[in-house]
Amino acid sequence: KGQAAAQGLHIVITAGPTREPLDPVRYLSNHSSGKMGFALAAAAAELGAKVSLISGPVSLPTPAGVTRIEVETALQMHEASQQLAGECDIFIGCAAVADYRAETAAEHKIKKREGEETLTLRLIKNPDIIAAVADRRDAAGGRPFVVGFAAETRDLEAYARDKLERKRLDMIVANDVSTAGLGFGADDNAALLMWRDGQGEGGESLPPQPKLELARAVLRQALSRLAEHPVH
Ligand code: PMT
């Protein structure tokens, strides 16, 4: 029964970090390994979905049956997401997107300056990729079911609920990234799922477990919410 649960659905997932160049040899990034997003892609393929995985630079093999689109910067991830958002049923934003990029990436390597102890970098905001997907409407007024993540180090539930509403998501996977052994780079994760739909608000707490198991639970919940409210 589970095997056919996502048959005929196209699921798009973003994963990994983005890399924002400062000059030809340096960049701004974060510790995302891609493991959580790749686990979601593997779990979605297992369920029979067509899966597109938009990934930042990570060193993980592509899960069986998954189409991988490689990007580096947030702007490239945004572009790839916009291209696929119009043709998918579920969009899951698991990538740790850099909120800011250098206003201009230097053409040549930035030199160390004699006698200057500080260097100021001017950063500019990147687009919010998942909020842009959630704001899209096709000709019939529809859009995919949008699942975001929230990586928090405190006040998990409150910050995640704020992101759920502000970004107009259908569901959010809130993970506390300050717990050792979970979150960034780890093999395991725990999460609080929260959603908003015509029936009101709901939630489910997922205890620490391997990321593949957690991915299956996230998809189960997303698919059952989508089944109750197929039209977006
Ligand atoms: O990759 P791993 O090592 O396995 O680690 C997994 C993880 C901790 C990275 C993952 O579980 C996770 O929490 N991913 C989201 C990380 C994040 O950037 O969260 P955020 O709270 O800053 O962003 C909230 C949501 O907005 C996310 O869905 C994010 O993809 C999205 N976002 C954020 C900024 C931006 N400019 N565009 C976005 O779409």
Structure ipTM? 0.99
pLDDT reported for residue 139: 86
Tell me whether residue 30 is one of the annotated catalytic residues: yes
Residue 150 lies in a domain: yes
User: Which positions of the chain have pLDDT values less than 70?
Assistant: 1-4, 198, 230-232
Domain assignment of residue 67, yes or no = yes
Residue 139 lies in a domain: yes
Structure tokens at 39: 């686990």
Q: Atom 13 (ligand 1): residue with closest C-alpha? A: 151
User: Does residue 113 belong to any structural domain of this protein?
Assistant: no
| pLDDT tens digits, one per residue of 17-74 | 999 999 999 999 999 999 999 999 999 999 999 999 999 999 999 999 999 999 999 9
* CATH code assigned at 199: 3.40.50.10300
* Strands 50-55 and 10-15, sheet pairing: parallel
Counting the structural domains of the chain, the total is: 1
82 membership: H or E segment, kind and range: helix 74-85
Q: Give residue ranges with CB within 6 A of ligand 1.
A: 32-36, 74, 93-97, 99, 126, 128-130, 148-151, 163, 175, 177, 183-185
Range of the domain at 200: 2-106+119-228
Strand pairing class (26-28; 20-23): antiparallel
Task: Tell me, in angstroms, the distance from the centre of ligand 1 to residue 94's CA.
Answer: 5
Q: Whose CA is nearest to atom 5 of ligand 1?
A: 184
Residue 114 lies in a domain: no
Residue 112 domain-assigned? no
The model's pTM is: 0.96
Residue 111 located in a structural domain: no
Q: How far is the centre of ligand 1, averaged over its atoms, from the C-alpha of 105 (Å)?
A: 23
